[in-house]
Structure 1
Amino acid sequence: MWLRVLGSAAGGGYPQWNCSCPTCRAVRDGTRPTRSRTQSSIAVSLDRERWFLFNASPDIRAQFEAFAGLHPGDDRTTPLQAVLLTDAEIDHTLGLLLLREGRGIRLHATEATYTTLTSGIGVLTTLERYCPVEWTRVVPGQDVSLGGISYRAFDVPTAKHDRFGSGTAEGRVVGYRLTDESTGRAAVYLPGVQVLTPAVHEELEECTCLLIDGTCWHDDELIRLGLAGKTAHEMGHLAIGGPGGSLEQLSRLPIERKIYIHINNTNPILLEDSPERREVERSGMEVASDGLEVEVKAR
């Protein structure tokens, strides 16, 4: 099973268009070792011919062009089989509108996400004016086969403000456990998590690869920089650093590859020479960049 990181940044990308924080300045002027990144999304395949997209970012066109595996055939056939969503956030769903030229989209999403995208944001209501959308309801805890790869979504509890009022707490945010049906080897995609609850920890057990929320290093990172009045926790994310942070909790887990994704433009781990980046790497974890590819091999 192959996992391809199409985009590794949080909403707004890196650098963010209206931000001149130290990390954004560094990537623009080249004064520190760092790389620009597009907004978070991955593609998954068993055979490198049929690909499943997890989240559709506003940068989807550039991401597809940067990866030959998703280029179309002569008759406009495409390797893209379906889109699976972790939530209804704009940075994870706006790219659906850029797929409107296709013959149709197979969409896997929870009822809460689907409701938000139809009666709330209206992304799907607009998209369906251009092409048919075939919705498969994602039910947390239920195993679904995609033909060689199966997924099991799991609920990720969040107290983040429900901006569009989906009307339900369950299924607002999910992670995905992906299993190669021939080998039993698994990977977990979890770009947004507020608390690593015991139930979430259970989903990480015996997985080979973990792609996990790396939005902020400090919980009050945006407040420190004078960029916002909310903490990472209030925005639905668990900070990496400090006591109780994700690094402390995850570094001890026996997972072959543990990779931070969905990294905010303010996060110092984006700077390859930063103390925070060195701490992540010393702890046996990685920082995703666009184009990173992971093969989940048989033992």
Structure 2
Amino acid sequence: MKKTLFFAFLLAYSYSFAQNPYVMVLGVAQDGGFPQANCQKECCKAVFEGKTAKQFVSCIAVIDPISKEKWIFDATPDFTQQLHLLNQKPYENSKIGIFLTHAHIGHYTGLMYLGREAIGANKIKVFTMPKMKSFLEKNGPWSQLVALQNIDLQAIKEDSTIILNERISVQAFRVPHRDEFSETVGYKIISPNKSLIFIPDIDKWQKWNRSLEEMIKSTDYAFLDGTFYADGEINRPMSEVPHPFVNETINLLKNIPQNQKAKVHFIHFNHTNPVMNPQSIEQKEVKKKGFKIAFQGQKVSL
């Protein structure tokens, strides 16, 4: 009886991804990747020695099995490998679009692979906020992608809804961050059945003019900035990179119901973050408190 129920569950699970739009996690690391350049610590040494798997830079994709369309959220330095993950059958020839969150290296530099030196793409739609759009248009080498029509920039507005097809729409919302070259946004991805929030980068939650708790209540999944686990993790002032620590976010949300905590998936981990290690006390503690750790290859149905 148990075996029959298990196979029924597997069948329903597979059917869900065959019929409904879904989100796939293509990477979970902070902009510098994992391993990170010039890192001599044990965390990266284990990857260089082949003892631990490399982790791609933070990125998700939305896939529509019906329309054979897919959209990548952030174009990372690992774009080549991440596109390969997306190009598996039966979606190898499906249309692609890109949404950008902001102009820090892990979130837009993968656009370079769309240029004449690599793919030589033709009018790939790239959705950006106004300042980000201007940055790409006015600064090389990105301006060449625009001039050669490798990319087709699509201006979006804060809190407006972009209807991608009859099943999927996207809303951009501003978040506070180090905006040297562009705005920073998070995205809410909406289907008829469920929705998902993606905030890979944000400064301390207290700087935001929205309630994180209310945001979580309004969605089914929340993939949130988990760059650092706690203070003192790197050998420079962490006030220079004021991400909310994972333990801060957990403390902020400690009183919400368990079913709300289960929506939270931490993502965008610095190479020093111990939650990257499945055997760490810190990852076990995060899960014990009811929260989740995003992982490469993870899929959630919309």
* TM-score (normalised: structure 2): 0.81
Cα root mean square deviation, aligned: 2.3
Q: Deviations over 1:203-239 (max 9, x none)?
A: 333211111111111233112xxxxx231x4224211
More helix by share: 2
The equivalent position to 1:195 in structure 2, one of 189, 197, 204, is 204
SS at match of 2:240: coil
1:206 aligns with 2:218: yes
Looking at structure 1, the residues matched to 283 and 174 of structure 2 have their Cα atoms a distance apart, in angstroms, of: 29
Instruction: Please state how far the C-alpha of 1:72 moved relative to its aligned partner.
Output: 7.2
Q: State the alpha-carbon separation in 1 of the partners of residues 261 and 230 from structure 2.
A: 24
Match of 1:247 in 2: 250
Change (3 A) 1:123 1:90: farther
How many correspondences in the alignment? 270
Shift in Å, 1:255: 5.1
Percent identity, aligned pairs only, is 27
Q: In structure 1, the residue corresponding to 2:45 is in which secondary structure? A: helix
Q: Which of 178, 188, 201 lines up with 1:177 in the alignment?
A: 188
Compute the displacement of 1:130 (Å). Answer: 3.7
**Do the aligned partners of residues 132 and 61 (structure 1) sit closer, same or farther apart at CA in structure 2, a change above 3 Å counting?**
closer
Tell me the CA shift for residue 151 of structure 1. Answer: 1.1
Match of 1:230 in 2: 237
Q: State the shift of 1:279 in Å.
A: 1.1
* Residue 93, structure 1, aligned to residue 108, structure 2: yes
Q: CA offset at residue 67 of structure 1? A: 3.5
Q: Which residue, 282, 294, 298 being the options, matches 2:300?
A: 294
Aligned-partner Cα distance in 2 for 1:72–1:46: 9
Larger radius of gyration: 2
8 A Cα contact 1:15 1:24, kept in partner:
yes
Change (3 A) 1:122 1:236: farther
Cα deviation, residue 251, structure 1: 5.1
User: Secondary structure of 1:16's partner?
Assistant: coil
Letter in 1 for 2:33: G
Q: For the Cα contact (< 8 Å) 1:259–1:286, is it kept in 2?
A: yes
In structure 1, runs of 5+ residues without a counterpart are: 167-171, 224-228
Structure 1 length normalisation: TM-score?
A: 0.82
2: CA distance between counterparts of 1:239 and 1:91? 19
Q: Give the 3 Å change call, closer, same or farther, for CA 107–9 of structure 1 in structure 2.
A: same
Using the alignment, how far apart are the partners of 1:81 and 1:30 within structure 2? 32
Query: Greater shift after overlay, 278-287 or 261-270?
Result: 278-287
